[in-house]
Every structure is written in C-alpha cells, then in structure tokens.
C-alpha cells in the first residue's frame, strides 16, 4: 500500500454520512472542508502542517463480517508522504476526531427504552460524537460561543483563524490551521476586540492561551487527574470558564461520554421540539431527563443537537 494512504477500520454501524452532516452544518466553518463526500483537514504534527483527505472506501456497501474485517475509511496525505511517526499521530488524531473507537451498543440499548431518544437514535444510528481534539481550540471555540448565536460564533472563529492561524496552500486551495497558543498568548485584548470579540471574551481567550503556552494547562494533565469531574472543576478555576464551557470541553475534547452541558440552549430547544411543546423545558426537567441517560449523556446531547440541522 502506498505510504500516502491509510485504511482506517470503523465500527460496523458507523455512518459516515451522518458525520458529514455534522461537519457540513455551517458554511462558515474554516478548519475543514467537505467536497464530494471527502473531508479535507490540515493539522500540525510537531512543527509541520499535514493535509489530510478522509473518505469512504470504495465498495462500502458490501456487508462485512466483523468490525475489523471489512468496513474502512481511507485517509490520504496530500502534501507529501509522511514519516512513520507522523502517520501514527495523524491516524490517532482522525480516530479521536471522528470518534471511530467508541462502541455504542449500550447507548442504543438505553435509547430503545427512552421515548425521547428512541426515534432520534433510530434516525441517526451510526452517528459518532465528532470531537475537538485540541484543548486550546476546544476552549476557544466554547468561549467564543458563550451567549451568542451559532452563526455569529462561526464568524468570530473564522476571523480569529484567518487573522492569526497558519495557512497551507495545496493545488491552489487554501487550508487553515488553528492559531498556536504561543501566537495568541502574546496578543493584547484590544486586537481581538477589533475583530468584534467582547473585552471579556478576548481576555478569557488570551488567558487560556497563556496557560497552555506556559504549560500550566494541558489536555494530558486534565486526563491524568483520573476523574473528569475534577478536570471540569480545574477548568472552572479559570476566569471566564463556567459550568457550560467546562462540560462542553469535557464532552468534545476530553471525551467524557457522560458530560452534560445542562444549560445548553440548543439542547433545550431540541428537547422542546421532541416533546412538541411551545416553551423550553426548565433546568430541573432537563436534569431529571438527563439522569435517565447516564452514563451516556454526552451522546444523548449530541444526538439531540443533530435534530436541529
């Protein structure tokens, strides 16, 4: 097999189309591109930018006898053949990003008994929880999204990435990488305010970047705590990081399957629609519903979000 290509085994029930639906949900997304059912994404491995294309293997309709035996995605490296260590890191990134190693049988068993989740799980079966592997990106994205609508959040992220991120050009196409912690850490908040960030959000983003750049905060440190609830508490020690932000990061970056962004507006809207109600549910109602979804509340949330687009 050519060095620029890797076959990635996927769970038997994995549905790439549902992942594409999530990845294509906003046209202002600037950190990946989807074209003809191929996902293009640039990541930084060490100091080198690596451009990847991810798609389904031809003949995907053929029934496979086992998870390991047949179904695959194809990962191609577009800007040169990577060294073995780069290949391994890129493969690990994609598997985490697209959530290719999670088995959802227990989650689906739970959904089958839950009147709110059952039709959603049936409709989107095979959807995996697309993540944000970078702690810096996850924290920045979540802070950006505080108290604003999703469309404007994407606009702010795009301004941040295009102003301070790294650019990779391949065959005339432009691909962006999220700014490094070092790059952001040295900025004055006034610069971000010119991009229409509030003063408070600018200060929070720069504080997070400094902590990461100075190695006072890392994904590895949080995971080594052994209890993701403690990791959420650690994140909330940062000024500007509250429960919703910490829970969202726990869900999409730290990969806590039971993380539950209780106050999330999108979650409330999805529940309201599922219940056929005209007003959003109270926090106590959402909390009570969430108890029945343990220990899969992150996946319940992600599936309910999927009903909104």
Kindly state whether residue 44 falls inside one of the protein's structural domains. yes
Domain CATH number, residue 95: 3.30.310.20
Kindly state whether residue 199 falls inside one of the protein's structural domains. yes
Banded model confidence at residue 3, pLDDT cuts 50, 70, 90: low
Alpha-carbon span 66 to 147, nearest angstrom: 45
- Same-domain status, 146 and 57: no
Banded model confidence at residue 59, pLDDT cuts 50, 70, 90: low
Alpha-carbon span 287 to 290, nearest angstrom: 5
pLDDT > 50? residue 86? yes
Q: Which residues constitute the domain of residue 43?
A: 5-102
Mean pLDDT score across all residues of the chain: 94
Domain end: 226, 252, 278, which one?
A: 252
First to last CA, the chain: 38
Backbone φ, ψ for residue 40 (5° rounding): -110, 130
- Same-domain status, 58 and 156: no
Domain end: 205, 233, 252, which one?
A: 252
Number of structural domains, the chain?
A: 2
Mean pLDDT within 124-130: 98
- Same-domain status, 139 and 236: yes
Alpha-carbon span 179 to 185, nearest angstrom: 10
Chain centre distance of CA 198: 24
Active-site residues, by number, are: 264
Task: Give me Rg for the CA atoms of the chain.
Answer: 20
- Same-domain status, 84 and 11: yes
- Same-domain status, 149 and 235: yes
What percent of the chain stands above pLDDT 90? 91
Which alpha helices (DSSP H) does the chain contain, by range? 16-23, 84-97, 105-112, 118-123, 135-144, 150-164, 181-185, 189-193, 199-213, 219-224, 228-235, 243-252, 265-275, 283-293, 297-306
pTM of structure: 0.93
- Same-domain status, 43 and 152: no
Q: Kindly report, residue by residue over 243-302, the tens digit of the pLDDT.
A: 999 999 999 999 999 999 999 999 999 999 999 999 999 999 999 999 999 999 999 999
Q: Kindly report, residue by residue over 164-216, the tens digit of the pLDDT.
A: 999 999 999 999 999 999 999 999 999 999 999 999 999 999 999 999 999 99
pLDDT > 70? residue 64? no
**DSSP character at residue 308:** T
- Same-domain status, 139 and 214: yes
Banded model confidence at residue 82, pLDDT cuts 50, 70, 90: confident
| Lowest mean pLDDT across 55-69, 106-120, 129-143, 160-174 | 55-69
How many other β-carbons are positioned within 10 Å of the β-carbon of residue 171? Answer: 7
- Same-domain status, 96 and 141: no
């Amino acid at each position: 097999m050519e060095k620029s290509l890797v076959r990635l085994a996927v769970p038997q029930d994995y549905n790439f189309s549902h992942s594409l639906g999530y990845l294509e949900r906003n046209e202002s997304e600037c950190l990946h591109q989807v074209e003809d059912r191929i996902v293009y994404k640039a990541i930084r491995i060490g100091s080198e930018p690596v451009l990847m294309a991810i798609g389904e293997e031809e003949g995907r309709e053929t029934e496979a006898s086992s998870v390991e035996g047949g179904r695959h995605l194809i990962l191609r490296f577009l800007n040169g053949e990577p060294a073995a260590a780069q290949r391994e890191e890129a493969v690990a990134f994609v598997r985490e990003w697209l959530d290719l190693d999670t088995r959802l049988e227990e989650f689906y068993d739970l959904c089958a008994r839950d009147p709110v989740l059952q039709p959603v799980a049936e409709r989107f079966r095979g959807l995996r929880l697309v993540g944000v592997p970078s702690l810096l990106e996850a924290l920045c994205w979540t802070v950006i999204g505080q108290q604003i609508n999703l469309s404007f959040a994407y606009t702010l992220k795009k301004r941040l990435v295009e102003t301070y991120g790294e650019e990779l050009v391949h065959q005339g196409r432009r691909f962006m990488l999220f700014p490094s912690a070092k790059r952001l850490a040295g900025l004055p908040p006034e610069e971000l305010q010119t991009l229409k960030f509030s003063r408070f959000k600018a200060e929070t983003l720069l504080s997070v970047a400094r902590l990461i750049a100075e190695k006072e905060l890392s994904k590895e440190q949080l995971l080594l705590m052994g209890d993701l609830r403690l990791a959420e508490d650690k994140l909330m020690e940062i000024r500007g990081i509250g429960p919703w932000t910490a829970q969202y990061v726990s869900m999409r970056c730290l990969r806590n399957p039971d993380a539950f962004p209780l106050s999330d507006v999108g979650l409330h809207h999805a529940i309201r629609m599922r219940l056929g109600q005209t007003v959003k549910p109270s926090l106590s109602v959402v909390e009570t519903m969430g108890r029945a979804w343990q220990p899969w509340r992150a996946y319940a949330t992600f599936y309910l979000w999927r009903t909104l687009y």
